[in-house]
């Protein structure tokens, strides 16, 4: 390997290493995730948002999910763990400093539910007693009033739309599609930012998110990106 690297042009060693790391990470994340491709994507046929920026898990020891009351979860998920937690949309590959540096990953989920446990496991990160952060950007072709953000998560979670708390899922729960629906909200024409935080003790962890209209049907004419 040293001989091969020695023959590369100046600056190519770092590029080679970065390419190898990206390829290895992408392989490890399969089959549950794929790296995002250029350009926006759309919800799936059922309206689920599959493109997300996911932060490597934050250590938050909980040996049971039974203590995830609304008070505890709200306190845990509104604590500031890193600079810019509720600020600008992060970049793919961006590092934030918590107890240790953690990296954001821009990924497309291959299923309607985003499998956080498998995300952490593929990266060799802690899978139990953790908090996951997720961010995505939804571009609406028009203002949409009286829509609802529909969320399921394992275990508890909180979700914000354009900086405003919109959905809370508390107590020990399994991921169920449309488990909790927000009050009626308005999607702005153009850019809308969704942030979510999922806390879990032992067991699997995942979530699913979509918008439904006043008629209860999923909204699919949206664009999703992570920029």
β-strands 144-154, 206-212: how paired? antiparallel
User: What are the residues whose beta carbons fall under 8 Å from the beta carbon of 8, sequence distance 6 or more?
Assistant: 16
- Provide the 10 A C-beta neighbour count for residue 215: 6
> What is the per-residue pLDDT for 113?
97
> What is the per-residue pLDDT for 63?
85
> What is the per-residue pLDDT for 65?
87
> What is the per-residue pLDDT for 59?
96
> What is the per-residue pLDDT for 93?
96
- Over its length of 227 residues, how does the chain's per-residue pLDDT go in tens digits? 333 333 334 444 444 434 434 544 667 899 999 999 999 999 999 999 999 999 999 999 998 888 999 999 999 999 999 999 999 999 999 999 999 999 999 999 999 999 999 999 999 999 999 999 999 999 999 999 999 999 999 999 999 999 999 999 999 999 999 999 999 999 999 999 999 999 999 999 999 999 999 999 999 999 999 98
Q: Of 136, 137, 179, which Cα lies nearest the Cα of 155? A: 179
DSSP assignments along the chain, one per residue? -HHHHHTSPTTHHHHHHHHHHHHHHHHHHTTTEEE--SS-B---TT-B--EEEEEPPEE---S-STT--HHHHHHHHHS--STTTTSSPPPTT-EEESSSEEEEEEEEESSSSEEHHHHHHHTT---SSEEEEEEEEEEESS-EEEEEEEEEEESEEEEEETTEEEEEE-SS----TT-EEPSPEEEPSEEEEEEEEEEESSS--EEEEEEE-TTSPBP---EEE--
Q: Of 132, 103, 129, 118, which Cα lies nearest the Cα of 195? A: 132
């Amino acid at each position: 390997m040293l001989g091969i690297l020695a023959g590369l042009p100046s600056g190519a060693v770092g590029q080679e290493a970065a390419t190898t790391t990206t390829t290895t990470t992408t392989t490890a994340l399969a089959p549950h995730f794929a790296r995002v491709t250029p350009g926006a994507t759309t919800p799936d046929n059922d309206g689920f948002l599959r493109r997300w920026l996911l932060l490597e898990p934050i250590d938050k020891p909980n040996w049971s999910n039974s203590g995830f009351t609304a008070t505890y979860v709200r306190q845990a998920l509104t604590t500031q763990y890193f600079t810019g937690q509720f600020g600008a949309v992060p970049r793919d590959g961006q590092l934030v400093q918590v107890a240790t540096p953690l990296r954001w990953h821009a990924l497309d989920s291959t299923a309607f539910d985003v499998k956080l446990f498998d995300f952490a496991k593929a990266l060799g990160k802690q899978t139990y007693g953790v908090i996951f952060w997720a961010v995505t950007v939804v571009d609406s072709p028009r203002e949409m009033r009286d829509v609802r953000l529909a969320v399921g998560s394992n275990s508890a979670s909180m979700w914000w739309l354009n900086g405003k708390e919109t959905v809370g899922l508390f107590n020990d729960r399994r991921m169920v599609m449309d488990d909790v629906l927000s009050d009626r909200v308005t999607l702005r024409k153009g850019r809308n930012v969704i942030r979510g935080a999922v806390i879990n003790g032992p067991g699997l962890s995942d979530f699913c998110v979509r918008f439904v209209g006043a008629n209860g049907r999923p909204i699919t004419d949206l664009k999703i990106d992570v920029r």
